[in-house]
Amino acid sequence: MTSYIVEADGGSRGNPGPAGYGAVVLDAADGQVLAEAAEAIGTATNNVAEYRGLIAGLRAALDVGGEGARVAVRMDSKLVIEQMAGRWKIKHEGLRPLALEAGKLARRLRVTEWTWIPRARNAHADRLANEAMDAAAQGLPWKAGGSVTDSRPAGTHGTEADTRGPGTPAASGSPAGGARLAEQTDLLDRGDITELSAPAASVATAQTRTAKGTGWAPPTRVATSLVLLRHGETPLSAERRFSGLGDPELTPNGLAQAAAAAIRLSHDPYQLDAVVTSPLTRARQTAEAVAQRAGLPVETDEDLRETDFGAWEGHTFTEIQRRWPTELAAWLADPDVAPPGGESFTAVAERVTRARSRLLDRYEGRTVLLVSHVTPIKTLLRLALDAPPTALYRMHLDLACLSLIEHYADGNTVVKSFNDTAHLR
């Protein structure tokens, strides 16, 4: 269920000319205004001002709702909405950095919709943008509450008022602002989608050229692909013992599993751009096998380590059930509960979420191999599926298995494969 609504707008009196933006965050349940933002940005185009408004609105939503808040985004700029939804190309180079910035903010939220609305329904954000531009014209900063009155009707800050000419109506059947969009068509291409940046060839780009699409989303969007590889066999995993921060090495069979994964990942459609691993030895050995074959360095991320199982480290499930029956029952029932002296799944999810955000920012539009463990990989899959924490107990991951998650600029995610062990057969 959507919790917040972001409405944003921007305009330029001249295109380019004196420009400003406005954004408002509303409670989705009752429409209450929770935050407002507006600013004059000097000389800029309508498109730049609109993207700046979107960025300000997403930041305000993060301030109000925090990471992962469910947000619906609504604007009267069809250009921005269609580009952020991944349906239109970005042809104007000056807009790419703004779209990337907006995409990074969107990934920190859960954007439930990108919706174009007529300008009459975007009056609040439109008013804020005009207030900011009017205040700047008088040498004043914008203040919440409308410190400067705009005497012009809402919706006249952009090129619709500047370019249509007196008495020239909007085209029949087009929404308010249609003239403004019409003159921006040199920035648009409604054919296949191109990347917001220019990523290296990857599983994402290979799949978007050939796939028929997943679900209802367009098949031509370029994603940031996270390829998830569980480490190979260790002495503890062979005996089905809890293996957290203990640091066993791979068995000979585990090394063979890592080598098989490396061969698999060296062929299409996998064209890796980076290899990132947990710091634990079993993951590093697996990552090094892949990286050596791919000719890539190995990076380490502490937040990809396995759960700290505390007193249960090295024990089997049966042993734990006999020695700690009450604690085990509580742990299985509640992800907030930690093993004695260990770490809860909730705490693991917090650090894995941090790692995901860092990696998506750093490797926008590329393919990254993450070599990790059962809990972090299950957590990444659970987050991608927007599943509850209890979903961790309903997934099984084999040793050296592969899974694939694609993350899009609009905040959406798609799990493309899960627990794939074809390379081990």
Full DSSP string of 330-367: HHHH-TTPPPTTS--HHHHHHHHHHHHHHHHHHTTTSE
Provide the token pair at 113: 């919709």
Q: Which residue in 92, 157, 231, 373 is the catalytic one? A: 231
* Total length of the chain: 425
Give dist(CA 218, CA 223) in Å, integer: 12
Annotated active-site residue 288? The verdict is no
Q: Which residue in 7, 39, 50, 306 is the catalytic one? A: 306
Annotated active-site residue 315? The verdict is no
User: What single DSSP character describes residue 392?
Assistant: G
Give the closest residue to 45 by CA, choosing from 71, 25, 17: 17
Based on the number of CB atoms within 10 Å of its own CB, is 88 exposed (0-12), middle (13-18) or buried (19 or more)? Answer: buried
Distance set, CA 409 to CA 86, 257, 373, 406 (Å)? 8, 34, 27, 10
Asked if 277 contacts 283 with a C-beta cutoff of 8 angstroms, the reply is yes
Asked if 404 contacts 225 with a C-beta cutoff of 8 angstroms, the reply is yes
Residue given tokens 């069809």 in the structure block? 78
Q: Which amino acid is at 94?
A: G
Asked if 155 contacts 119 with a C-beta cutoff of 8 angstroms, the reply is yes
Question: Which are the catalytic amino acids?
Answer: 231, 306
